[in-house]
Structure 1
């Protein structure tokens, strides 16, 4: 199987990468993007990746330098401002972008790299009544960029993980999943 061309945003220690490995899906990592220096170090060690592949602060990424037509981008933008335990400020507060508002920067990277598939993960509260506007922004932004979205709330305990952790996953397919010509 030919490796997929892959980009990872808000990478943490690489949970999506672990999933790809567990599923036996080979990938070539074009870049990862993580601002936390400890998570970056752990990511590089866990996945045998050079730190130079890290884009760093997503707000400072040179979009023109990114590869085009990736197969997959994964992202889990910060949830602090949409989480039940968080601040509840959404994507903007007092005219300023919140940490959760870094979704907009992820969208910039998605538009610049034009992946066939983009997969997002975030807290269940994103699909709550309180954050209807933010969830609409996420889906609408992806639709305007040419993606068909499919989403579902999943609970980790239903997949052999000894933890009750509900998350919304959004799978966005470029052009509705039609093969590229």
Structure 2
């Protein structure tokens, strides 16, 4: 059995899927991600794991607590001469695909001279039903439709034992189902069996209704079948479990810098402690509220009141006429939405980067949208997970991510399968 299984991570984003595999002890050969800020976030997190595994976690804490600048943080890590955390590469496209492959081949050496598993999923906007609904051409001409072909080429080249491909359920019907069918046929030609199922993140204890299609493939030499994942939440938790220890904020209040929680670790919810979202020595970072104009705050107050009073959503056309500034009153009438404090949140999406209307805090005393840290908790990111870049990018990174708790559950099963053959 190999000491550590190797992973090639494609379309990495901010590292939600990667985090689950990190937590299960996988070694990353390379991360491929187009966005500079997301790639920086993943680099920061990769260094965190390397430092934590070598009993040098204090260096990471010094960084996120503001005692080290980022270049100083990276320099201190490099001085330790720890094993590599993998390559961090940019956008994969036809012109640089071969050079990326060569870089990855150069990274493979010694006993880790192969890629055991490839993970990832291309940006979902072209496959999303919402995205297709907003695009006059239904996203049919969007080049992101074909990013999966790069994923296929890397499977063909590196011949991993297993692969995990993640995307939105809308991929099944995108371009009349041709993409879904082509992916199945292509990997079969490469010598793989694959199955795809729609999984819900809440069944992995993520406090969110979030469905994703997860392809898992394996070489057809192996007598494998699709892992059995939970079909309902193993325990009932609510969004209130992840909000109650956070300081209340008015619009514009808060800070990205470390502050104390509203309550000590011992009083934090069982959920936060059980799943290590919050750890004993954590400080709260990136809990800063957006500024909202007076009209939006009036709307927020109405939709919060209605939701808290009778658990119904206020449609845009139900607002007083003086608060209706959009001309389109026939579509997207639920553009203002309160997060369900006493159940699961609706699915976090990258659109939160543009405004917070779809993710309004349920507390009528605050009347604001969710902070970066609150959204990160809904996605099950640990509190010590630092997101790089401006706040709009941080929101996008979180909205595009696979929830780490879901990723961990997938990684557990992939590890079991690899244990049988390596």
Q: Bin the TM-score by the shorter chain.
A: 0.7 to 0.9
Once the two structures are superposed, residues 147-167 of structure 1 have per-residue CA deviations (whole angstroms, 9 ceiling, x without a partner) of 100211011122211111110
Q: Distance in 1 between matches of 2:90 and 2:174?
A: 33
Once the two structures are superposed, residues 84-106 of structure 1 have per-residue CA deviations (whole angstroms, 9 ceiling, x without a partner) of 1113335xx2xxx7113111111
Q: Give the superposition deviation at 1:177.
A: 2.9
Q: Which residue, 74, 77, 90 being the options, matches 1:56? A: 90
Equivalent residue, structure 1, for 2:81: none
SS in 1 for 2:43: helix
Q: Distance in 2 between matches of 1:98 and 1:177?
A: 35
Q: Distance in 2 between matches of 1:156 and 1:52?
A: 28
Equivalent residue, structure 1, for 2:104: 66
Is 1:161 aligned with 2:206? Answer: yes
> Equivalent residues in 2 for 1:36-115 (5 A)?
36-48=35-47, 53-59=87-93, 60-61=96-97, 62=99, 63-67=101-105, 69-87=114-132, 88-90=138-140, 93=141, 98-115=143-160
Equivalent residue, structure 2, for 1:32: 31
TM-score by length of 1: 0.85
CA RMSD of aligned residues (A): 2.5
Q: Give the superposition deviation at 1:119.
A: 0.2
Look at both structures and tell me which one has the larger radius of gyration over its CA atoms: 2
Q: Which residue, 181, 188, 205 being the options, matches 1:136? A: 181
Is 1:18 aligned with 2:68? Answer: no
Q: Give the superposition deviation at 1:69.
A: 3.4
Equivalent residue, structure 2, for 1:6: 7
The worse-fitting range, judged by mean Cα deviation, of 5-14 and 124-133 is 124-133
Q: Distance in 2 between matches of 1:131 and 1:177?
A: 32
Unaligned runs of 5+ in 2: 51-83, 106-112, 133-137, 224-419
Q: Distance in 1 between matches of 2:22 and 2:102?
A: 29
Note closer, same or farther for the CA distance 1:129–1:113 as it changes in structure 2 (3 Å cut). closer
Q: Distance in 2 between matches of 1:129 and 1:5?
A: 31
Q: Which residue, 194, 207, 214 being the options, matches 1:149? A: 194
Once the two structures are superposed, residues 123-161 of structure 1 have per-residue CA deviations (whole angstroms, 9 ceiling, x without a partner) of 011123864211001111111111100211011122211
Q: Distance in 2 between matches of 1:122 and 1:14?
A: 15
The worse-fitting range, judged by mean Cα deviation, of 122-131 and 167-176 is 122-131
Contact map agreement 1:13 1:42 (CA 8 A) in 2: yes
Runs of at least 4 residues off by over 6 Å = 49-52
Q: Give the superposition deviation at 1:64.
A: 4.0
Contact map agreement 1:148 1:176 (CA 8 A) in 2: no
SS in 1 for 2:130: coil
Contact map agreement 1:33 1:56 (CA 8 A) in 2: yes
Unaligned runs of 5+ in 1: none
Q: Distance in 1 between matches of 2:86 and 2:219?
A: 29
Q: Give the superposition deviation at 1:27.
A: 1.9
SS in 1 for 2:170: helix
Is 1:175 aligned with 2:215? Answer: no
